[in-house]
Amino acid sequence: LFLFLTILCPFPSPAEEEDDAGYLDVAMSEEKHPPPQLSPMPEGLTSHQVVRRHILGSIIQSERSYLESLRRILQEYHRPLMEDDPRILSPRKIRPIFHRIREITQCHSMFQIALASRVAEWDSSEKIGDLFVASFSKSMVLDVYSDYVNNFTNAMALIKKACMSKPAFLEFLKKKQASSVDRITLYGLMVKPIQRFPQFILLLQDMLKNTPKGHVDRLPLQLALTELEMLAEKLNEQKRVADQIAETQQLARSVSDRLLSKQLNSEQGSLILCETLIETVYGERGQVLKSKERKVFLFDDVLVCANINVKGPPDISSLVPVGPKYTMKWSAPLQQVQVVEVGQEGSQSKDTFLQHSGAKRPSSACKTILGPPRLYHELQELQHDLSVVEEVTLLVGTLQGMYQNLNTTVAQDWCLALQRLIRIKEEQIQSANKCRLRLQVPGRPDKSGRPVSFMVVLNTPNPLSKISWVNRLHLAKIALREENSPGWLWGEDEGKTTAPLWCPLLACHMSVFAMKSPERKLEAALHNPVHCALLGFSAASTSLPQGYLWVAGGGEGALGHIEIFSLNRPTPRAVKSLQVGSAVRCLEYVSESAPREEVEVGVHRAPSGIGANICVGSDDGRILIYGSVDTAAQCLVTLRNPESCPVLCLKHSSRYLFAGLRNGTVMVYGRSNNDLWDPDSCRSLSLGSEPVRTLLVLDDSLWASCGNSVTVIDSSSLTTQKFEVHPDPLVSIAHMACAGGGVWMAFSEGSSIRLFHTETLELLQEINISTRSTLLNTDQKSMRVTSLLICQGLLWVGTAQGLIITLPVPKLEGIPKITGKGMISRNAHCGPVDFLVATSSTLSPDLLKRDSVGDGLDSACGGEDRSDTSSQESLQQSGCSQGEGRGKGRGVLLQYKLRSTSGLPGRPLTALGDEASDSSLESLEHSVEDGSIYELSDDPEIWVRGRPCERDGGRRDRVISAAVISGGKGFRRLREGAAAGTRTGGEALENILMVWQLPLTV
């Protein structure tokens, strides 16, 4: 196993690539080190063991295929080019093309040796996760792959240039492709290292799903997923930056405006999004005058539209991607570009509208671009016919005689039929608008100096693309505001102030409880989601998640207060206030019980119609159950505990409501017949003498903190298990947040947070937050964590200094370990961050349906997403339910969401068809659309395409809008090296909400 770690010498730096100094090329024969080979399957295996063996077989086969591809690059291309006489290319040009291929081959050769050893003892150990951790967690693996990924775009450019300047090299590549069995090109071979780690991740995900709890391989698999995802994320970011630079440079060459060209070539501007869209120009009657492909570039402060020139010669483009050349058509400052949605024409400014061709466009003709002209004209014809039929109906009513098929009833049926056709036509137009991006772009002023705008109509490939464009345009404008320029200090590089594109943006900050008593303190907040299909199609793209925000608080001995804000606008708006008898300490949102949940707990009831409710815990020991805002937020039930002890925290499962009390007790309330919580079902669990400060609900258990220990309560039997998480008995656990297979904890004292495994309860990692607070000149001993939240792959940490720190955590089933330094926000509260709450909503898949989207895709089988607004907003825990194959080839159903399936036995299959796009092949990201399902037939050597999962239809085209809201005293803008930032007047004493908007997850 550890041969991989010892035999490989340090790899050469780029300066050493002229000679291979520092690199030890170790020859390994298959006779001495035969490839891994699984022994025949023994009898008596469980279903999980059978599936795990087959997944291991896929790992073996895919790794063998990958190594073969790497060796083909070296033996069929690199060696002949270096040894041919006369040389086709000079060594100076050959080495950059094949940069780091030998080192990557060596890495995986060593991995294969260790894999063979592990496979030989599989039936006795059944352990594979630790092998991946040992092989791919080392810095040299990241260095080698980083160099390769960073050089990949340059290598492809060198190949293209050599093909055009050296006909012998072009002929060489053609002959090699023609003589190969699979007809794969050099590019097809060289893109495989970019795809490798996403393939590993997906295979290990499937292995983990079939590894039961308590298995010796479960924790190692989770750690392996953590390491591989972190590695893939870093490589993906490097690939994105390299592609962005190449694309921007290509565009800059075509720009005649020297100022814009200089701006594009500078390091200040960054490319956010670019895509090929179809621009359509209509005439006054709605006829299509012109329709042509355009490449649209969204930078952080400018939007550029360019013509796409003809690509290179077909004989070259068939061997290596030949990027197009551009000619800039127009550009506009981002702040002056407006997205015009359906029905918003009248709200736009009264600037003169011009078509892109420059001809004046009458305002009455604007409506013709709401949909394809054919559909719009058909709608006009139907409306005309309806008006005529209505007149005929009136005339028929004046007839004196009785005539067959000519009476008022028949005429009214005609009207109803036409009205139905009109509704259908309007739905078709609305559906077409889901892919229609309309931009109002500033043009040159007219002769009198008045501003002139023209409308650009762009068709996106699918509805998700349009939503992505609207969202990115919206967020890019927010990013230009002063408070977001810069908004974060990136800890990876102390001198770098520009945060990554996925960083949260401060959308707004606003006061809460402004007119109330100054001693009133914020205590808790929650998101009350509301799913409303009546909002516009792109509403989730430009505003906060749908629903309401409940904010609660109070002072010692004072009345409690709740304010409810509507989130259906870019800025929260107060809609209701509630007074409570004593200070509110906690809130909990309880969604309406789903039928599936009721079946699981063995309860069968008729729908109560009560819907979701909000539980409010107060200082006087009461738990008030309120209906949602849509039902007037009335108090439905009041729960009490025997000693009227203050309620510090609330959590619920499908069966129980749990309340943590100040006296160290957890109260448990069961459901009543009307689907609310039953006051008479109260039970108590004593955990100790210290207050129960925080609760956390996992799949089948509740974690409750009491002092420096956590008690794990079984959700069904209410049995308990206790373990200590901090050595100091005077320190208590204040906050917990769960992600994947781990729970992060923060404490009442100190600046450390700790990560524990959810199954073994083992301490996995400890992080000192003070070492990441380089923005403040503050005493590290005084740094204290006051709130924790996990959302969208980030661990949010609020501190007593008002500082917010975000740390990256894995989004998959791995352990949420921290490897990077994260980011520190330059926008802070003047006092402790009282709470961090995530808000999210999912755009209904029905709104995204379109005949051309998703056809021919075999999406992979997945389980229901789990979403908890307090801690697990971005976690999509997908599981594959085991099912029996129907028809021919019955057997075990296996799931593989591989971007490339060349590593599996049999004919290569992908969900993208026979010819996948170059961009998809180069991407490190993996998505559900790229999944293929394989069904194992009776013959274990034969794999066939399986049927798609029946439940997957609802998971396709999910769009998740998320935001994070922080609460605390005041608002300030931090300056680097300063302990105090700029405060806004009297806001330092006010309770302030800060709303952080996150990019859409599509």
The answer to which of 457-466, 542-551, 804-813, 956-965 has the lowest mean pLDDT is 956-965
Q: Give me the residues paired with residue 982 across strands.
A: 973
Scan for tokens 């499937």, then name that residue. Answer: 206
Scan for tokens 């007149």, then name that residue. Answer: 391
Name the percent of the chain lying above pLDDT 70.
73
Scan for tokens 């606003």, then name that residue. Answer: 510
pLDDT confidence bin for 604, thresholds 50/70/90? very low
The answer to which of 108-117, 456-465, 706-715 has the lowest mean pLDDT is 456-465
Q: How far is CA 738 from CA 614, 761, 813, 817, in A?
A: 22, 13, 12, 12
Residue 449 burial class via C-beta count within 10 angstroms: exposed 0-12, middle 13-18, buried 19 and up: exposed
Parallel, antiparallel or unpaired: strands 823-825 and 804-808: antiparallel
Structure tokens at 378: 């058909």
pLDDT confidence bin for 27, thresholds 50/70/90? low
Residues 6+ apart with CB under 8 A from 130: 220, 223, 224
Residue 236 has pLDDT above 80, yes or no: yes
Which phi and psi angles does 919 have, rounded to 5°?
A: -65, -35
Q: How far is CA 513 from CA 526, 584, 648, in A?
A: 16, 13, 21
Residue 8 has pLDDT above 80, yes or no: no
Q: What's the rounded mean pLDDT across residues 764-789?
A: 75
What pLDDT score was predicted for residue 602?
Answer: 45
Q: Please tell me the distance from the alpha carbon of residue 522 to that of residue 514, in angstroms, as a whole number.
A: 12
Highest mean pLDDT: which range of 260-269, 629-638, 910-919: 629-638
Strands across the sheet containing 695-697: 695-697, 701-706, 709-714, 720-724
Whose CA is closest to 389, among 405, 420, 421, 413? 413
Helix (H) or strand (E) holding 394: helix 373-396
What pLDDT score was predicted for residue 721?
Answer: 92
What pLDDT score was predicted for residue 666?
Answer: 95
Highest mean pLDDT: which range of 262-276, 328-342, 687-701: 687-701
Structure tokens at 99: 């940069």
- DSSP per residue over 455-515, as a string? EEEEE-SSHHHHHHHHHHHHHHHHHTSGGGTT-EEETT-TT--PPPTTS-EEEEEEEESTT
Q: What's the rounded mean pLDDT across residues 562-588?
A: 88
Which is more confidently placed, 846 or 718?
Answer: 718
Structure tokens at 917: 């796009």
Whose CA is closest to 338, among 472, 474, 431? 474
Residue 856 burial class via C-beta count within 10 angstroms: exposed 0-12, middle 13-18, buried 19 and up: exposed
What pLDDT score was predicted for residue 7?
Answer: 40
- DSSP per residue over 669-725, as a string? EEB-TTSSB-GGG-EEEE--SS----EEE-SSEEEEEETTEEEEEETTT--EEEEE-
Whose CA is closest to 476, among 245, 302, 236? 302
CATH code of the domain occupying 31-246: 1.20.900.10
- DSSP per residue over 142-201, as a string? HHHHHHHHHHHHHHHHHHHHHHHH-HHHHHHHHHHHHHSSS---HHHHHTHHHHHHHHHH
Residues 6+ apart with CB under 8 A from 906: 942, 943, 944
Residue 19 has pLDDT above 60, yes or no: no
What pLDDT score was predicted for residue 851?
Answer: 38
Q: Give me the residues paired with residue 960 across strands.
A: 842, 1001
Which is more confidently placed, 706 or 928?
Answer: 706
The answer to which of 49-53, 559-563, 673-677, 825-829 has the lowest mean pLDDT is 673-677
Residue 273 has pLDDT above 90, yes or no: no
Residue 123 has pLDDT above 50, yes or no: yes
Q: What's the rounded mean pLDDT across residues 272-291?
A: 80
Name the percent of the chain lying above pLDDT 90.
34
Which phi and psi angles does 402 have, rounded to 5°?
A: -105, 125
Structure tokens at 901: 């399936």
Q: Residue length, the chain?
A: 1002
Phi-psi region of 518 (alpha: psi -120 to 50; beta: other; left: phi over 0): alpha
Residue 356 has pLDDT above 90, yes or no: no
Sign of the Cα pseudo-torsion (816, 820, 826, 828, in order)? positive
Q: Please tell me the distance from the alpha carbon of residue 385 to that of residue 407, in angstroms, as a whole number.
A: 18
Parallel, antiparallel or unpaired: strands 271-282 and 288-299: antiparallel
- pLDDT one-digit tens code per residue, 190-207: 999 998 999 999 999 999
Q: Which CATH class is domain 500-511+732-847+956-975+987-1001?
A: mainly beta
- pLDDT one-digit tens code per residue, 392-411: 888 888 888 888 778 888 88
- Report angle CA 324, 467, 457 to the nearest 5 degrees: 60
Question: For residue 486, is the peptide bond before it cis, meaning its omega torsion is within 30 degrees of 0?
Answer: yes
- pLDDT one-digit tens code per residue, 793-814: 889 999 998 999 999 887 766 7
pLDDT confidence bin for 918, thresholds 50/70/90? very low
User: What single DSSP character describes residue 73?
Assistant: I
Residue 895 has pLDDT above 80, yes or no: no
What pLDDT score was predicted for residue 849?
Answer: 55
Which phi and psi angles does 542 have, rounded to 5°?
A: -120, -5
Structure tokens at 700: 């089948």
What pLDDT score was predicted for residue 846?
Answer: 55
pLDDT confidence bin for 169, thresholds 50/70/90? very high
What pLDDT score was predicted for residue 501?
Answer: 66
Q: Give me the residues paired with residue 509 across strands.
A: 994
Residue 265 has pLDDT above 50, yes or no: yes
pLDDT confidence bin for 594, thresholds 50/70/90? low
Which is more confidently placed, 715 or 357?
Answer: 715
Q: How far is CA 804 from CA 123, 140, 740, 827, in A?
A: 49, 33, 22, 8
- Classified as helix, coil or strand, 109 is helix
What pLDDT score was predicted for residue 967?
Answer: 93
Whose CA is closest to 142, among 197, 181, 102? 197
What is the dihedral angle through the alpha carbons of 850, 852, 856, 859, rounded to the nearest 10 degrees?
-40
CATH ID of 254-311+324-341+370-480, from 3.40.50.300, 3.50.50.60, 2.30.29.30, 2.40.50.1070? 2.30.29.30
pLDDT confidence bin for 693, thresholds 50/70/90? very high
Q: Do 714 and 658 meet the contact criterion of CB atoms below 8 Å apart? A: no
Highest mean pLDDT: which range of 56-70, 758-772, 899-913: 56-70
The answer to which of 274-278, 527-531, 837-841 has the lowest mean pLDDT is 527-531
pLDDT confidence bin for 15, thresholds 50/70/90? very low
Distance of CA 811 to the CA centre of its chain: 8
Give the mean pLDDT of the chain: 76
Domain coordinates in residue numbering, the chain: 31-246, 254-311+324-341+370-480, 500-511+732-847+956-975+987-1001
